[in-house]
């Protein structure tokens, strides 16, 4: 840790595992090296700031918050750990606690977002209407049906070429792709090894953030959509048969 942080790892034995507990009777702080942050969170209903070991951990949180605020972009845990000069495991635990701090404090308008194992500050969905008033835009509403269709295809079939997208949609998709690239929802992710080497497209971290996913694994299963469509077709067929 550099001199500006004034954190002395020697003051706390095994800082990767140590947490503080507050003695309810006299208010003293007991250091328990056997318990991880996550375990303490599960055991206690108290506000998190009563469980943090003195100002040392508060300082860690302050530094992490500043790093996330300044960068604006997702920060890898490795990077945060390197700056704090601590282990990746310890940095991960700190981030998990900080995430819960934002989660539990309703007075905060921001939250900690984890996207593909990188962390970023984002606004809470409950305030989205007010943000739209400020920004005068809503990315989901501003997308045309063609753009949404194209984005859905890319999300589930990525990486995919423009021609492959158009084969699925049955119409030209140049404009929709350009719109999605401009909005930062998709990006070029290489070229396909075929004649002409066409560009491949894939979704971005911005896509995950805007649609409130932490990874592509959270996308709804296509099987659900297929089942829904089949149910609709059966219902429509049943209605038609009852007419005769």
Q: What is the pLDDT of residue 103?
A: 85
CATH architecture of the domain 9-126 equals Orthogonal Bundle (1.10)
Report which DSSP code applies to 34: T
Q: What is the pLDDT of residue 19?
A: 39
How many angstroms separate the CA atoms of 63 and 53, rounded?
16
The third-level CATH classification (topology) of the domain covering 145-236 is: Arc Repressor Mutant, subunit A (1.10.10)
Q: What is the pLDDT of residue 199?
A: 93
**CA of 110: how far to CAs of 96, 117, 128, in Å?**
15, 19, 11
Indicate the SS3 state at residue 129: helix
Whole-prediction pTM: 0.48
Residues of the chain falling short of pLDDT 50 = 1-6, 8-41, 43-52, 54, 226-244
Q: What is the pLDDT of residue 17?
A: 38
**CA of 7: how far to CAs of 4, 31, 57, 174, in Å?**
9, 17, 9, 54
* Domain 9-126 matches domain 145-236 at the CATH topology level: yes
Report which DSSP code applies to 225: H
Break the chain into its structural domains and give their ranges. 9-126, 145-236
Per-residue DSSP letters for 3-27? TTT---GGGSTTTTT-EEEE-TTT-
């Amino acid at each position: 840790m550099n001199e500006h942080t004034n954190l002395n790892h020697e003051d706390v034995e095994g800082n990767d595992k140590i947490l503080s507990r507050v003695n309810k009777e006299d208010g003293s702080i007991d250091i328990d090296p056997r318990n991880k942050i996550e375990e303490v969170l599960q055991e206690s209903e108290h506000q998190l700031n009563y469980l943090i070991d003195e100002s040392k951990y508060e300082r860690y949180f302050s530094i992490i918050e500043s790093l996330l605020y300044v960068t604006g972009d997702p920060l890898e845990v490795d990077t945060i750990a390197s700056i704090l000069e601590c282990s990746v495991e310890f940095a991960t635990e700190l981030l998990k606690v900080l995430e819960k701090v934002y989660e539990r404090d309703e007075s905060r308008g921001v939250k900690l977002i984890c996207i593909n194992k990188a962390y970023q500050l984002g606004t809470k969905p409950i305030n989205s209407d007010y943000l739209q008033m400020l920004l005068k835009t809503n990315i989901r509403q501003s997308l045309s049906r063609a753009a949404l269709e194209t984005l859905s295809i890319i999300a589930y079939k990525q990486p995919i070429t423009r021609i492959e997208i158009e084969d699925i949609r049955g119409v030209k998709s140049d404009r929709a792709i350009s719109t999605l690239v401009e909005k930062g929802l998709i990006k070029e992710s290489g070229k396909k090894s075929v004649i002409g080497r066409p560009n491949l497209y894939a979704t971005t971290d911005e896509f995950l953030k805007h649609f409130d996913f932490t990874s592509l694994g959270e996308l709804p299963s296509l099987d659900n959509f297929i089942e829904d469509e089949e149910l609709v077709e059966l219902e429509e067929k049943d209605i038609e048969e009852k007419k005769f």
